[in-house]
Each structure stands twice: as C-alpha cells, then as structure tokens.
Chains A and B, each alone.
Chain A
Amino acid sequence: MTAELAERLDTAALTATPIPQIASRAGLDAAAAYTVQEQLVARRLARGERLVGIKLGLTSRAKMAQVGVDEVIWGRLTDGMTVADGSTVDTSRLIHPRIEPEVAFLLDAAGNATAVAPALEVIDSRYADFRFALADVIVDNSSAAAYAIGSWRPVPDGVDNLGVLLEVDGRVVQIGSTAAILGDPRRAVSQGLRLAGRVEAGWVLLAGAATAAVPLAKGAYVRAVVEGLGAVGVRAS
C-alpha cells in the first residue's frame, strides 16, 4: 500500500494535480508516513535526481497548532528542487505554490553547521486547498517544491533573533525574526540530525520559516532579507 501512496503523490507533483488527503484517510502513523516519503523521494532519485539535504517543517508554534501537533517534521531535498539565487521558478509545474523566508545551514559529515545563508523555500502541498493532517504532509515530503539559497558565510555568534523581511516586487509583505524558528534556528540543526538519522558533508539544511508563507504568483520577484546575512531572490514565471 505504501508504494501505491508514493506513486499517487509522485504523479500529483509531476502533473501538478491536487489529490485528497490519502495518508490520514489510510490511517498511517508518522513512522509509516516517513516510509512512504522515502519511497516517494526514491522515485525522484530513480529519475536521476540526487539527495542534497533536508528541510524542517512545522518549526513555529503557529504552524504546529495549525496541524494539531507539537513536533517538527522533516523532508528530503534533491538537486532537482534547487533554484539559483536570482533565477526563475516555473510555477506552471506547481499546484498552488507559496513562498517563505528561511535560513539555511551548510552541514559537515558530523552534522555541524559550517555556514549559514538566507534562503527562500517554495512549498506546494499536493493536497487540495493546502489542507492536510500530519501523516499527509509527511508523506508529501513536507510540501517541499523548490528552494534558493543566498551567499554562505560563517555562522556568526547568535543567529537567534535576526530580523527577516519578505518582499514581493520590492514591497515588504511579511516581517519576522529567526526567533520564530524553534526559538533559535540552530535548534533546527540538532533536530534535523535527530530526525533524519544521517547527513552527508555538503548537505543543506533548511531550518524552517521565519514568517508566514505568501502565495507565489506568476511574474512576481520575491526576495528574503535577513539581518546580517544578506538577501536571496527568485522570480516566478
């Protein structure tokens, strides 16, 4: 059954067609849901994509409350999801994309953060109306769709309260702080290591959203600015 769920999610993503909340309806628990996620990502790897990191989700109280859990979730990042800073995200291949500002960490083989950068993550639930229960979002690879990363720099002392702005076409649309990410985004590194079990040198870790996500509309230029870390931008086509 898990292989069938993975195939349905893969097809939903490939065809940009939303599906019902199949995992929660099937009564999957979190452990079973992560098995489906692994199978889903394995299909991408079989098509030639490569694992390049992990992402955390539900890292703010508000999002945990929305899904009714008090635990963060994680997902797998592939090179097929990367978008270069300043380049274009093709929204025609997505269902109802949203974008959010984050910070990213660069990991060494032991899972230590060796560098940090501002990041933008495009999330795209494969479920109708972006509605899901915990098992649904886990099997859906935590809504991962695409991400862009700005310039890496050494991790400064204290990244726990950096101001974060999300701009669309030069206007500030969301304002927050990295404190929204588990109180301190460095906690995402240890949580990610614990949840994923293993990491590889050079992997990226997307720590979680610093503000609410906003819809990503075709034609928009979106930029995340993080205090002391610089900025990263993408254009939606």
Chain B
Amino acid sequence: MNAAALLTEAYRTGVPCPPLRGTHIPEGDVDAAYAVQREQVDAWLAAGRRQVGAKIGLTARAVQEAFGVFQPDFGVLMADAAVPDGAEIALDRLLQPRVEAEVAFVLGADLPEPQVTTVDVIRATDHLLPAIEVVDSRVAGWDISIVDTVADNASSGLFVLGTRPVRLSDVDLRLCGAVVEHAGEPVSVGAGAACLGNPLHAVAWLAATLATAGQPLRAGDVVLSGALGPMVSVTPGAAYEARISGLGSVRVCFGKEAV
C-alpha cells in the first residue's frame, strides 16, 4: 500500500499505521508529504465531503525544535469534523486523541495574494471564536516526524468552535491567556504569544502558503491558528473546557470506553 492508502486504512479500521518516513515518504521531503495529504483530501472531496477551512500546526517554538523544522505546517478542516460546543465525542471516532486550546479565525474576505502582511489578515478577518482542536494521529504512538504529520493532514482530528463571535479589536491576541481545564484543574496553560508570537502571524503564513499553492483562503473559511499551550492527552469519559481571555470558552467531552 502507498502512504495515502495506509493512512486511509488507519482511519477506516481505527488501527494506527507505522511511521511513514523512510519507508513510504523520504525523510524530510515535505513536498512529497503534502502530495500524500492532497491525495487523501481529493478523495474526501470526491466522496462528497465539504472542506470548510484549514488548520495550522507546529506553531509552538518548543514543538518546532522537537521536530527540527522551523516553519508551521497545515491541514484541511472538513465540515463533518466539526463538533458542537459541549457535545460528547464517541471514542471510536478517534485513534489517540489530544486536545488543545486555539483561536479560530473566520474570514470575511479572500486572501488571494501570495505576498501577505498582517494587515491583510486583520482586514480579512470577520470574527474570532474560541476553539478546541481535537488532534489525532493515524501514526502509531504519535511517533511522527514532519513528513508523517504533514501526510496525515497535520494530525487533524475533530474541532469544536465556540458560538459567540468576537471582533479582532476586542482581543489582545499576543497576551491573551489560555487554559484547558479538566475537573477544575488547569491541565494546559499558555497565551497567544505561544502561537508564532501571535496567532495573526500564523494565519498570515498560511494565507501566503495557500495562495502560492494556488488554493487561497476564501471568505467564510475557518482557520484554526495553532495551539496556545501544550497538548493534553484525552482521558476516556473526561470533559474539557478551553478558556481564552477575551474570547470566552468552549467545551467538549469524550465517551467512556466500551465495556
């Protein structure tokens, strides 16, 4: 099986596949990894699934250092990966989920220019929402390098958006505190600056990258801009609330393990 088929099989069976680097994708060949991602996304779209935006990964310096790559990566968001605020996610929808608090940008204008500035992103942003990204890896044990995660849709799983839109001018995206709480305990804390210094910078990078690739961000797209604190491994049965200062809160819970 090729890399895309292995990942597709992992989604279908719920059984993760071995790492792809070195065997199916050359180590460090990020372009080849994006081609593997594209092959899966094309199949999803052909099957009638709807793309609603994109996610940005590897935005924390500590994570970039761990991977030895000094740029973010991206994946796509599909409509059927959106989970309502507060809903319970059945564990069999995911393989090895983790949660993180993020800022979601909802665009009101296209971003077609390959040369993008922060001002372009500010002007194109319609509103922000607090978000929980449920990241997941189809690669066993999260044993991933840059090419493994890029090929695997940037380790995207599901996502939960808050429901109260906030204007960009009402939030300090650099200094805003972020916390994921579980049973009254902060299990991950951070701030806006953890995402490439400011989530706006991450969105500008994505806009430039996608415009260069001929698939620019469009009005209406949702962009998950990147984690504001460390990832939290999901405990079956647990509920998590993410709070971002100035943006409000959003929550999700997970089903218990099958008896």
- Interface pair B181/A177, CB less than 8 Å apart: no
A179-B179 in contact given A161-B243, A162-B245, A163-B245 (Cβ < 8 Å): yes
A175 touches B186 (CB 8 A): no
- Of B155-163, B169-177, B202-210, the one with at least 4 CB within 8 A of chain A: B169-177
Chain B proximity mask over A152-176: 1 for CB below 8 Å, otherwise 0: 0000000001111100000010011
Q: Which residues of B contact A165 (CB under 8 A)?
A: 175, 191, 193
Please, which residues of chain B bring their CB within 8 A of the CB of A78? Answer: none
CB distance from B132 to the nearest CB of A (A): 15
Indicate if the CB atoms of A175 and B191 lie closer than 8 Å. yes
Kindly provide the distance from the CB of A176 to the nearest chain B CB, expressed in whole angstroms: 5
The answer to whether B191 and A177 touch across the interface, beta carbons within 8 angstroms, is yes
Question: A225 contacts which chain B residues (CB < 8 A)?
Answer: 175
Chain B 97-120, CB-CB to A under 8 Å as 1, else 0, gives 000000000000000000000000
* A180 at interface by CB-CB < 8 Å: yes
User: In the complex, A176→B60 CA distance in Å?
Assistant: 13
CB-CB nearest in chain A for B246: A227
Does A8 lie at the interface of the complex (its beta carbon under 8 Å from any beta carbon of B)? no
A176 near B190 with CB under 8 A, answer yes
Q: How far is the CB of A163 from chain B (nearest CB, A)?
A: 3
Cα(A176)–Cα(B62), bound, Å: 14
Contacts of A183 in B (CB 8 A): 181, 184-186
A176 and B191 contact, CB distance less than 8 A: yes
Contacts of B197 in A (CB 8 A): 172
Which of these, B174, B177, B194, contacts A179 with CB under 8 Å?
B177
Give the nearest-CB partner of A182 in chain B.
B186
The count of A-to-B residue pairs whose CB atoms sit within 8 angstroms is 70
In the complex, what distance in Å separates the CA atom of A161 from the CA atom of B171?
13
Q: List the B side residues contacting A163 at CB < 8 Å.
A: 172, 174-178, 190-193, 245
Per the 8 Å Cβ criterion, residues 172-198 of A in contact with B are 172, 175-180, 183
* Complex contact A177–B190 (CB within 8 A): yes
B177 interface neighbour in A61, A172, A177, Cβ under 8 Å: A177
Near A by CB (< 8 A), chain B positions 52-102 give: none
Contact among A61, A172, A175, A227 for B245, CB-based, below 8 A: A227
Specify the chain A residue showing the minimal Cβ separation from B174: A163
- Complex Cα distance, B179 from A176, in Å, reads 9
- Are the C-beta atoms of B175 and A227 separated by less than 8 Å? yes
Q: Which residues of A contact B229 (CB under 8 A)?
A: 177
Give bound CA distance, A165 to B177, whole Å: 10
Whether the pair B176, A175 counts as a contact (CB closer than 8 A) is no
Q: How far is the CB of A23 from chain B (nearest CB, A)?
A: 29
A173 to B168, CA, bound (A): 26
The closest CB in chain A to the CB of B186 belongs to A179
Mark interface residues in B232-259 (1 if CB within 8 Å of A CB, else 0): 0000000000011100000000000000
Whether A164 contacts B184 by the Cβ 8 Å rule is no
Question: Per-residue CB proximity of A64-107 to B under 8 Å, as 1/0?
Answer: 00000000000000000000000000000000000000000000
> Does B189 belong to the interface (CB within 8 Å)?
yes
Rounded to whole Å, the gap between the CB of A135 and the closest CB of chain B is 26
Interface residues of A in 205-232 (CB under 8 A from B): 210, 225, 227-228
Tell which of B181, B191, B193, B245 has the most Cβ of chain A within 10 Å. Answer: B191
In the bound complex, residues from chain B placing their C-beta under 8 Å from that of A176 are 177, 189-191
Q: A172, A177, A179, A225 — which one has the most chain B CB atoms within 10 A of its CB?
A: A177
Shortest CB distance B59–A (Å): 12
Looking at the complex, which one of A180, A227, A228 makes contact with B189 (CB distance below 8 Å)?
Answer: A180
* Complex A-B, nearest 9 residue pairs according to Cβ-Cβ distance, in ascending order: A163-B191, A177-B177, A179-B179, A227-B175, A163-B177, A161-B177, A163-B175, A177-B189, A180-B189
Give A residues with C-beta under 8 Å from B: 61, 161-165, 172, 175-180, 183, 210, 225, 227-228
13 A-B pairs besides A163-B175, A176-B190, A177-B189 with CB distance below 8 A are: A61-B185, A162-B175, A163-B172, A164-B191, A172-B197, A175-B193, A177-B229, A179-B177, A179-B179, A183-B181, A183-B186, A210-B189, A227-B245
